[in-house]
A = this chain, B = another copy of it.
Amino acid sequence: MDKDTISNWFKNLQSDITSNLEKIDGSGIFSGDTWKRSEGGGGHSMVIENGDVFEKGGVNWSAVHGNTPQKILDALKLEAANFFATGVSIVIHPHSPHVPIIHMNVRYFEMSNGVWWFGGGIDLTPIYVNDDDAAHFHRKLKETCDRHNVDCYPQYKKWADDYFFIKHRNETRGIGGIFFDRLSSKHGTKKELFSFVQNVGNTFIPVYKEIVYKNKDLIFDDNQKKWQYLRRGRYVEFNLVLDKGTKFGLDTDGRTESILMSLPPQANWAYNYKPETGSPEWDTLQKLKKGMDWVNK
């Protein structure tokens, strides 16, 4: 299981996901940009804008290498070493406030000193939380986890709850999903863990397709669109203030346009906006909490 096998599999995952998203959209086409990183390696960014369903979305693949950033070495108390990192990152912002924003990341990291790990996850950010969709989403993620290790869903679900928590808003970014990082030989063989990460990657299209098809033709009004823009503002706050991948990318002179592909086409901020008690917007806020048991909803 060498790094090229993993990296190539991720590259194919990118192709597979973008062609499936094009089919789901029915009109939008991804366009690609290949880029090089001056310190070593590069990537291929694929972007869809103004599709029928997807307003803006990015599916980014990269495989980069070079000297391991000092911060990582310090955190692990390791001497200087080369690193190799590869992964796929996706954020999709649909037009309709009835279709959730989705994010997925799968990644592999290794160093010349023999240290390696996998990380990743999938999470959903509905503008309006629909209990059935949320339960469906979490059940599918649980199935994927259970095939790997029946204990891991609760752990990776909690990890997502904690990771996607916006402390300064006292709310979660969305309904969470699964998140995992630094899965290494303590957690399984490289083959087993790669197989799990592949299953996560392959879960993306079927789980999202069902939610998109179910909701994409529902009508919406200006007030629902306004709410969507405010929620996207929260998405921006999470990604720019809290997201470790974004911070790492910007700190290490990554390709800005690929890192910030995750930002929505439009986001709004209103001062101290509070939805009316009992409204659908208020109901959604009640559900943006850690520890929601969606699987057993």
- Which residues of A are in contact with B by a Cβ distance under 8 Å? 33, 47, 49, 56, 58, 167-169, 229, 233, 236-237, 240-241, 250, 253, 256-257, 259-261, 263-272
Can you list 18 contacts pairing A with B, beta carbon distance less than 8 Å?
Answer: A47-B271, A56-B269, A168-B256, A233-B263, A236-B240, A236-B267, A237-B260, A241-B241, A241-B250, A257-B272, A260-B269, A265-B268, A265-B269, A265-B270, A266-B266, A266-B267, A266-B269, A267-B267
Shortest CB–CB separation between residue A234 and chain B, in angstroms? Answer: 10
Contact of A49 among B167, B229, B236, B270 (CB under 8 A): B270
How many copies altogether?
Answer: 2
A250 touches B49 (CB 8 A): no
Closest to A247 in B: B241
Given known A168-B250, A169-B256, A256-B168, contact A266–B268 (CB-CB < 8 A): yes
Shortest CB–CB separation between residue A196 and chain B, in angstroms? Answer: 31
CA A175 to CA B270, docked complex, whole Å:
26
